Amino acid sequence: MYLTKEVKAEIFTKYGGKAENTGSTEGQIALFTHRINHLTGHLKKNHKDFNTERSLVKLVGKRRSLLDYMIKNDIVKYRELIVELGIRK
């Protein structure tokens, strides 16, 4: 599988502070971005996989909600995270 315990721990360590901090907004956004990138690559090969397409749209919506939350609470961290993850907007 593409998302192992080690990969998750690495993402949360880099963006959430430590591996156990899975509730941090930054860590969740980074995890969603990783999953979105994986699903996007899958859909480039399998363009008729509509279930994956729906999952991708739902993930993008969740990430957008978390990003909106970050804008309201800490605009500086939001801008840093956007640049670091390479997210548009």
CATH number at residue 53: 1.10.287.10
DSSP state of 2: -
Cβ contact 16:24 at 8 Å: yes
Domain span holding position 37: 5-85
pTM comes to 0.92
20-79 residue pLDDT tens: 888 899 999 999 999 999 999 999 999 999 999 999 999 999 999 999 999 999 999 999
Number of domains within the chain: 1
User: 51 — alpha (psi -120 to 50), left (phi > 0) or beta?
Assistant: alpha
As a whole number of Å, the end-to-end CA separation of the chain is 30
Cβ contact 3:23 at 8 Å: no
88 pLDDT higher than 90: no
Look at the chain and count its residues: 89
